């Protein structure tokens, strides 16, 4: 085999190699032409160009831009001032939104110091605004319009006039508001007294208040029970076991004993008929008697 056989290239391969060589020559010539058109850049000119580009970028794209506006001072009422007025006073938009939310939720600025509680308001800002704050009298408590005999102004919704020594009221005719006139009784005890009276069907004696836990005993001297017309009685011959046991003075075993006695002996005409039963000692019959009807 001759040396020519080792370096033999067929016709199609020769065409490909020739095309690649031509493409390489064209690229080389193009790069040479472009390098001649671009002037050489010295280190000093490159540094100046970089500095100029940086300054132009900083001028064109600032980090943060705030629209400047002139702060004004004029009289204003924080309860009625609109957003334009509040912004003119120098408040920030988020502070204005907080004022609007506070007013929308029913908040009222009753004094200048109330406005000082605005979140984000500095001492300097408040001192500058304070001489211009005008709170309308329409936003003051209505209790300021009423003067009492002692010259003091008092909120009658918060303070209840108490009974004096020697004064009494009827226990069965009182509601929670009237009970709070009794010295030593507030809203908590008033609710408990009324609730227990409803369970009993009315009070037959002031001494029944001793059955309410922790109720001060000295409140009884301001209360009295007049007659029994306000007592709701139980029809002992007709009520079911569950209906009987709802009364505080009748437990489950007593209610069952009443039902059994009616079934065995018929109509009950007097509670004394139950005295022979072990569930009805004399004291149980005595306190239950005002609440029983035999009809």
CATH number at 279 reads 1.10.150
H helices within the chain, ranges in order? 3-6, 11-37, 43-60, 83-88, 93-104, 112-115, 123-129, 176-179, 187-200, 241-245, 252-265, 282-288
The count of structural domains within the chain is 3
Per-residue pLDDT of the chain in tens (295 residues, 90 and over written 9): 555 555 566 677 777 888 888 888 888 777 766 655 545 454 455 454 545 554 444 555 555 454 556 889 999 999 999 999 999 999 999 999 999 999 998 889 988 889 998 988 999 999 999 999 999 888 877 766 665 444 444 555 555 688 898 899 999 888 999 999 999 999 999 999 999 999 999 999 999 999 999 999 999 999 999 766 689 999 999 999 999 999 999 999 999 999 999 999 999 999 999 999 999 999 999 999 999 999 8
Residue 109 maps to a domain: yes
Phi, psi of 237, rounded to the nearest 5 degrees: -90, -5
Beta bridge partners of 234: 292
User: Do residues 240 and 204 both lie within one domain?
Assistant: no
Specify the pTM: 0.47
Residue 119 maps to a domain: yes
For 194-228, give the secondary structure using H, E and C: HHHHHHHCCCCCHHHHHHCCCCCHHHHHHEECCCC
Residue 269 maps to a domain: yes
Give the residue carrying structure tokens 């020519």. 4
Residue 186 maps to a domain: yes
User: Do residues 216 and 247 both lie within one domain?
Assistant: no
Residue 239 maps to a domain: yes
User: Do residues 216 and 238 both lie within one domain?
Assistant: no
Torsion of CA 279, 285, 286, 287, to 10 degrees: 80
Task: Tell me how far apart the alpha carbons of residues 174 and 118 are, in angstroms, rounded to a whole number.
Answer: 46
pLDDT of res. 143: 63
Calculate the alpha carbon distances from 96 to 41, 78, 87, 118, 131 in Å. 57, 10, 7, 10, 19
Residue 120 maps to a domain: yes
Give the residue carrying structure tokens 């209505």. 142
Query: What is the longest distance spanned by two Cα atoms in the chain?
Result: 148
Residue 44 maps to a domain: no
Task: Tell me how far apart the alpha carbons of residues 291 and 170 are, in angstroms, rounded to a whole number.
Answer: 19
Q: Is 72 exposed, middle or buried (0-12, 13-18, 19+ CB in 10 A)?
A: exposed
pLDDT of res. 4: 57
User: Do residues 206 and 186 both lie within one domain?
Assistant: yes
Structure tokens at 20: 């690649």
Task: Write out the residue range of the structural domain in which residue 287 sits.
Answer: 234-293
Reduce the DSSP state of residue 79 to 3 states and report it.
coil
pLDDT of res. 47: 52
Give residues with Cβ within 8 angstroms of 206, minimum separation 6.
171, 220, 223, 224, 225
Residue 154 maps to a domain: no
Do the beta carbons of residue 129 and residue 72 sit within 8 Å?
Answer: no
């Amino acid at each position: 085999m001759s040396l020519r056989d080792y370096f033999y290239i067929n016709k199609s391969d020769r065409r490909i190699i020739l095309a690649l060589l031509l493409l390489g020559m064209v690229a080389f010539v193009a790069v040479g032409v472009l390098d001649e058109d671009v002037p050489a850049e010295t280190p000093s000119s490159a540094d100046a160009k970089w500095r100029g580009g940086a300054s132009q970028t900083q001028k064109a794209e600032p980090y943060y831009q705030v629209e400047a506006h002139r702060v004004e001072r004029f009289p204003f009422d924080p309860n009625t001032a609109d957003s334009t007025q509040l912004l003119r006073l120098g408040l920030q938009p988020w502070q204005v939104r907080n004022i609007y939310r506070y007013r929308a939720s029913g908040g009222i600025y009753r004094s200048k110091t109330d406005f000082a509680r605005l979140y984000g308001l500095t001492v300097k800002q408040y001192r500058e605004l304070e001489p211009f704050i005008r709170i309308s009298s329409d936003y003051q408590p209505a209790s300021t319009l009423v003067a009492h005999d002692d010259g003091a102004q008092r909120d009658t919704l918060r303070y209840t006039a108490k009974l004096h020594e020697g004064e009494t009221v009827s226990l069965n005719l009182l509601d929670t508001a009237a009970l709070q006139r009794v010295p030593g009784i507030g809203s908590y005890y008033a609710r408990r007294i009324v609730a227990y009276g409803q369970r009993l069907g009315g009070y037959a004696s002031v001494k029944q208040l001793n059955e309410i836990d922790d109720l001060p005993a000295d409140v009884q001297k301001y209360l009295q029970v007049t007659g029994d017309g306000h007592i709701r009685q139980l029809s002992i011959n007709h009520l079911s076991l569950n209906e009987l046991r709802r009364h505080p003075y009748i437990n489950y075993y007593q209610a069952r004993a009443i039902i059994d006695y009616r079934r065995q002996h018929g109509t009950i005409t007097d509670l004394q008929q139950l005295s022979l039963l072990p569930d009805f000692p004399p004291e149980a019959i005595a306190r239950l008697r005002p609440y029983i009807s035999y009809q």
